[in-house]
Chain A
Amino acid sequence: MKNNWPLWEVFVRSKNGLEHRHFGSLHAADAEMALENARDVYTRRNEGVSIWVVASKNITASNPENNGELFEPAQDKVYRHPTFYSLPDEVKHM
């Protein structure tokens, strides 16, 4: 049998208060093993306090070919940013 261990994506929270961040990937036969492997591979230097693993095949990703329609329309919505609004310097705490 040549049944290869599937690929998992590993997300690690480095300390409480921070989000889980993508650290990399690894192979494991099941979720439990993926978690253990992630602990052994990605937190050898005390890098984390919490780990998520997700089977790579379960990730749905946007296609870069659609980046134009997906992301460019947001570029000119300058009114979403605070700098769009001019206020006199005397106004504090805003």
Chain B
Amino acid sequence: MKNENIIQYIYGIADNALILGQRLSELCGHGPSLETDIALTNMALDLLGQTRSYYQYAAQLSEDGKTEDDIAFLRIERQYKNVLLVEQPNRHFGYVITRQFFYDVFHLLLLQELQNSKDETLSAIAKKAIKEVSYHQRFSSDWVKRLGDGTEESHQKVQDAVDGLWGFTDELFHMTEDDTLAFESGIGVDVTKLKETYYKRVSEVLEEATLTIPETKWFQKGGKQGIHSEHMGYLLSDLQYMQRTYPNMKW
């Protein structure tokens, strides 16, 4: 497998961590309670930490003097390979938690496979991240239950979020060409195999939370090919603002 393909494969994982980390960090200082604020930021820090490990490795593989920051800040929108789910905005806390939950369940399953990667660096990153993400999943599942089985208002709000975000879950299991290449060479994960366990776990929690599992069969896709939602451009203009305005400087 060529380095360029591995790099693309890494983007497919790491960009999710970056964009979700960016979304969570928007909330710092605006959480519903101080305790929750701190917890959300901890998750953002975990995700951004993982992002850095992946990008540093990708930079090393690229052998063209790129840095983690070039990768994080200086690609054009089409080159970001995150799924649409993670770029969805923080409409309200119900959305934040549901987005997190939908991603955490997938993320943990992915990492549990990725730790067996033939690529030692990816395996090591996955092993470390599993501990962090296990906690994320615990945190977001608990909150889905609290909101779902809390008050009428919270039930309605989190149900809206579940309905609104459900259509983005299927994309998690799409295989890009780079995914297939990576899987075939023993580096990557066959995400299609995670699908059944994923929906089983998600459904269990939603049921416990007294929430209704949407019946829609229409799913959104495109993020993995770099075709993003309208939200992505705004997210990137924040993310890239400094690097774009002041090119080639050290910070």
Do A and B touch each other in the complex, judged by CB within 8 A? yes
A33 touches which of B34, B38, B42, B142 (Cβ 8 Å): B142
> Quick check: is B215 within 8 A (CB to CB) of the other chain?
no
Given contacts A32-B142, A33-B142, A36-B139, are A27 and B39 in contact (CB under 8 A)?
A: no
B100, chain A: closest CB distance, angstroms = 14
**A28: interface (CB < 8 Å):** yes
Q: Mark A19-30, 1 if CB is under 8 A from B, else 0.
A: 000000011110
Indicate if the CB atoms of A26 and B42 lie closer than 8 Å. no
With A36-B139, A37-B39, A44-B42 given, is the CB distance from A5 to B151 under 8 Å?
no
- Is A41's beta carbon under 8 Å from chain B? yes
A91 within 8 A of B: no
CB of B33 within 8 A of chain A?
yes
Of chain A, the residue at the smallest CB distance from B150 is A29
CB distance B35 to A37 under 8 Å? Answer: yes
Contact with A along B35-70 (1 / 0, CB 8 A): 110110010000000000000000000000000000
Q: Are B142 and A40 in contact (CB under 8 A)?
A: no
Q: Are B151 and A40 closer than 8 Å at their CB atoms?
A: no
**For residue A28, which residue of chain B has the nearest CB?**
B35
Which of B33, B139, B142 has the most CB atoms of chain A within a 10 A radius of its CB? B33
A1, CB-defined interface residue at 8 Å: yes
Bound-state CA distance A78–B42 (Å) is 51
A27–B33 Cα gap in the complex (Å)?
9
Q: Beyond A1-B151, A41-B38, A44-B42, is A36–B33 a contact (Cβ under 8 Å)?
A: no
Q: Which residues between 137 and 184 of chain B lie within 8 Å of chain A, taking CB atoms? A: 138-139, 142, 146, 151
Q: A1-B151, A37-B39, A40-B39 are in contact. List 7 more A-B contacts (CB 8 A).
A: A29-B146, A32-B142, A33-B35, A33-B146, A37-B36, A37-B38, A44-B42
Between A and B, 23 residue pairs with Cβ closer than 8 Å are: A1-B151, A5-B33, A26-B35, A27-B33, A27-B35, A29-B146, A32-B142, A33-B142, A36-B39, A36-B138, A36-B139, A36-B142, A37-B35, A37-B36, A37-B38, A37-B39, A39-B135, A40-B38, A40-B39, A40-B42, A41-B38, A44-B38, A44-B42
Instruction: Give the interface of B toward A (CB within 8 A).
Output: 33-36, 38-39, 42, 135, 138-139, 142, 146, 151
